[in-house]
Structures are given as structure tokens and as C-alpha cells.
Chain A
């Protein structure tokens, strides 16, 4: 009977992870560069240059970037845009009224955005990777841009100079008596400074940085965890033998 219960439990634990708010297109998988310090540093540079003008990352301290291999001097020389002290956080003060005028609302804080966007469709990095690569020109929008992963987003395509301007190409498919528009691919309207592969790689660096930024302790967590598990396994064996040493008395 216990076997039945156990198998039922196992069947359910194989179920999908908890859903998040994922509508829109299926997500591309972002390359995993969380262990690539160079990629993370490049991502930090992109983040500070392109994102911190409007968004804040109010829980991220500049000097925490030493965790990804930068020295405080490097941080001060290259990345300290919004403040003068390396111990400060990445706050940006945008006036909420102006933000509402320009974008329809205050740009959200990005410190833990990667964690908040995880879901059944993919990790937060996957979402951000898809999002930053599916912008297209749309003159019906105030910013002139729309996005496949986040339709009608209020944010413009900040990285457009790198990617260039694109438009999605749809194919009309007749099925079951009605027509559906199926996304087929992209058309490059004007070229960007980077090729498609280069752009994808830059975005990968950026989203990996954001994934790291949403939990800077993750590296330590896993490293400490390995030791803890080893210790507990040894301790378990000891506890098991201790138990056996006493219970052999019981008849």
C-alpha cells in the first residue's frame, strides 16, 4: 500500500514547475554563461550603459561586482555612472510623472527581474533573451516599437543601434476553414552595428549578468552546498551505524 502512495507521489512530483505569467511566444533558450566571468563582466558593462538610464537596480551594490572578477578601481573607472561611491547601490532617480508621460509608467526595478520572469516556459534568462531579441518596428505605438514576447510593451528598443530595425514576417496558413498568421521569420529593414550572431551573443552576456545579479550569492550557495551534502552523507552513515549498534539489542 505504501508502494502505491509512493508511486503516486513520484508521478506528481514529475509534474511541471509552477506557472508564471507566460503568454506570448515560446521562449528561446539563453546560452548559460553564469560561470563565464568575462561574459558576466561584459553583461555588467552593457547593463550599466544601456539599462541604468531609465531602470534602477536598487538592491545591487556596485562593489558586489567584485564577485565577478572586477576590482574596485575597474568599477570606479568604467561603471560608476549614477553615483560616486563604489559601495552605493544602482539607484536611478527618474521622476515618476515624467516616467508616466514618456513610457506610461515608471520603468520597473531590474535587480530581481530575472527571478520574477521564470516560469514553465523557461528561466528568467530565457525570457529576457527572447524579449531583447524580438523587438520590431511598429509605427502604431508611441515609441515606434513593439515586441513579440511582451506585446504592447511601453519600453522602446534600447539596443536598436546594435541589432538594427527588423519586422516579423508572417505566413498565412489555411487550416480547418480559417486563416491563421504564423510567424515565419525576420526581415532586416536597416542593418545594425552587429551581425545577428554578434548581437545574440551580446544579449546572452547581458541576460546572464541579469540572472547573476538577481541572486549574486548563487555561486557561493552551490559551492557551500556541495560541502554540506558531503558532510551530511558522512554523518548519515555514522548515525546509521550508531543506530544499528543500539538496535541490535532489541529482539
Chain B
């Protein structure tokens, strides 16, 4: 081998070059990998939706689109709110304990699964295979529903049922309650879906 001084010199500059090269390679990777992340257009399309809820009458449902999904805003009547207590025994997850991070934000971890008990905000997609459940607000016996039906939703694809707080009934194909999206009230009449106070 050559004498030590030549060796050391090559080694010094090899190490320096490798370090500089590694830094450079990392720096160059950043823009390319960032280019994979959602663009401004995607972020704008997925932006929060502001809804005026002043025109919704008790018992009525309004549907808005957020991130390509249907979001329901239901103004529940006092009877519908009462009914929430009656059906607890028939529900698979009455206290919304399953997957809370995904399905039920903190401010919705209550019996009515909402910030204001009167207004339910939920994503209208069945947790089984993604169909949108149909409204079945009328109480009482109906086709495909039990005789003591207290009002809620029936998914037409495979028969899963949900109550007026989006909670799924036992022994149905759907495993989970309906997702409550992040949302917050900007005023008494303006609801923002897609963002909450913590965000």
C-alpha cells in the first residue's frame, strides 16, 4: 500500500465527498417526494364546506358533499332524541367505543354523537361496503324493519340498520357506527364541515 500521508488525504476527501453527496442526494429527494403529496388543487377540492343550517326544519335532512362523500345534517325532533335512549340495548356499539379516532371525534363522544344534540352531522356511507343508507325516519312497523322501529337508516345493499345518531344495530353486516366528520359551528346558523376547533 502507499504510504500513510497519501492514504489519509484520499480518505479525508472521500469522506468529505460522501457526506456532501449524501446531503445533496437527500436535498434532491425532497422536491421529488413532495411532488407525490396532494397538490393545491386536491387540497382545495378537499377543503372544508360551509353550510347554512337555518333553513332545516325539525325532522329534515340536508346532504352536502365533502371530499367526494355525502355528509348528512339532520335536525332531530325531541321524539327522535328520546328514541336514542330506548334502542341502546339493540346497538352493537352504543357508546361509540370502537375506533374512536376514525369514527367519533371527542366532541361527539356522547349519546347524541354531536356537538348540539339537535343537529346530527354524519358521513352517509355504510360501514359495511360503502353504499349510502336510505332514510327511514318514520317510527313503527315497515318492510325490512322490526315492529318497534324507532327511526333511523336502512342500507339497501345488505340490510344494515342505523339509529338517528348513526349507531349500527347488532347482528348486521356493518361492523361500525357511521363516521362523524370533523366539524364546528361558526355561528348559530353556519356549520363548517371538514375542520374542527382543534385543527
Q: In the assembled complex, which residues on chain A have CB atoms less than 8 Å from the CB atom of B45? A: 87
The answer to whether A242 and B14 have CB atoms under 8 Å apart is yes
The answer to whether A246 and B10 have CB atoms under 8 Å apart is yes
Pairs across A and B, CB under 8 Å, 29 listed: A61-B40, A63-B40, A64-B40, A85-B47, A87-B40, A87-B44, A87-B45, A87-B47, A231-B20, A231-B23, A231-B24, A231-B27, A234-B20, A235-B17, A235-B21, A238-B13, A238-B16, A238-B17, A239-B17, A239-B20, A241-B13, A242-B14, A242-B16, A245-B6, A245-B12, A245-B13, A246-B10, A248-B6, A249-B2
- Within 8 Å of chain A (Cβ to Cβ): is B190? no
How many interface residues does chain B have, given as a range?
10 to 19
Q: DSSP class of B's interface residues: helix, strand, loop or mixed?
A: helix
- Within 207-235 of A, Cβ neighbours of B (below 8 Å) are at 231, 234-235
- Within 8 Å of chain A (Cβ to Cβ): is B43? yes
CB distance from B148 to the nearest CB of A (A): 45
The answer to whether B43 and A242 have CB atoms under 8 Å apart is no
| Contact pattern, A 64-85, Cβ under 8 Å of B = 1, otherwise 0 | 1000000000000000000001
The answer to whether B44 and A238 have CB atoms under 8 Å apart is no
The answer to whether B47 and A242 have CB atoms under 8 Å apart is no
- Within 8 Å of chain B (Cβ to Cβ): is A202? no
How many interface residues does chain A have, given as a range?
10 to 19
Q: In the assembled complex, which residues on chain A have CB atoms less than 8 Å from the CB atom of B21? A: 235
- Within 8 Å of chain A (Cβ to Cβ): is B9? yes
Selected from B10, B27, B40, B47, the residue in CB contact (under 8 A) with A245 is B10
Q: In the assembled complex, which residues on chain A have CB atoms less than 8 Å from the CB atom of B27? A: 231
Q: In the assembled complex, which residues on chain B have CB atoms less than 8 Å from the CB atom of A28? A: none
In the docked arrangement, what's the CA distance between A246 and B16, Å?
14
When C-beta atoms are compared, the residue in chain B nearest to A239 turns out to be B17
CB distance from B60 to the nearest CB of A (A): 23
Q: In the assembled complex, which residues on chain B have CB atoms less than 8 Å from the CB atom of A63? A: 40, 44
Q: In the assembled complex, which residues on chain A have CB atoms less than 8 Å from the CB atom of B9? A: 245
Q: In the assembled complex, which residues on chain B have CB atoms less than 8 Å from the CB atom of A245? A: 6, 9-10, 12-13
CB distance from A225 to the nearest CB of B (A): 13
When C-beta atoms are compared, the residue in chain B nearest to A84 turns out to be B50
A-B CB proximity, top 10 nearest:
A87-B44, A242-B13, A235-B20, A245-B9, A245-B10, A238-B16, A87-B47, A241-B13, A245-B13, A242-B17
In the docked arrangement, what's the CA distance between A242 and B9, Å?
8
When C-beta atoms are compared, the residue in chain A nearest to B50 turns out to be A84
The answer to whether A87 and B10 have CB atoms under 8 Å apart is no
CB distance from B5 to the nearest CB of A (A): 10
In the docked arrangement, what's the CA distance between A179 and B101, Å?
84
- Within 8 Å of chain B (Cβ to Cβ): is A109? no
In the docked arrangement, what's the CA distance between A245 and B13, Å?
8
CB distance from A246 to the nearest CB of B (A): 6
- Within 1-41 of B, Cβ neighbours of A (below 8 Å) are at 2, 6, 9-10, 12-14, 16-17, 20-21, 23-24, 27, 40
- Within 8 Å of chain B (Cβ to Cβ): is A88? yes
CB distance from B32 to the nearest CB of A (A): 14
Q: In the assembled complex, which residues on chain A have CB atoms less than 8 Å from the CB atom of B16? A: 238, 241-242
Q: In the assembled complex, which residues on chain B have CB atoms less than 8 Å from the CB atom of A87? A: 40, 43-45, 47
When C-beta atoms are compared, the residue in chain B nearest to A248 turns out to be B6
CB distance from A40 to the nearest CB of B (A): 19
With most chain A CB atoms within 10 A of its CB, the pick from B6, B9, B13, B23 is B13
CB distance from B190 to the nearest CB of A (A): 12
| Contact pattern, B 110-130, Cβ under 8 Å of A = 1, otherwise 0 | 000000000000000000000
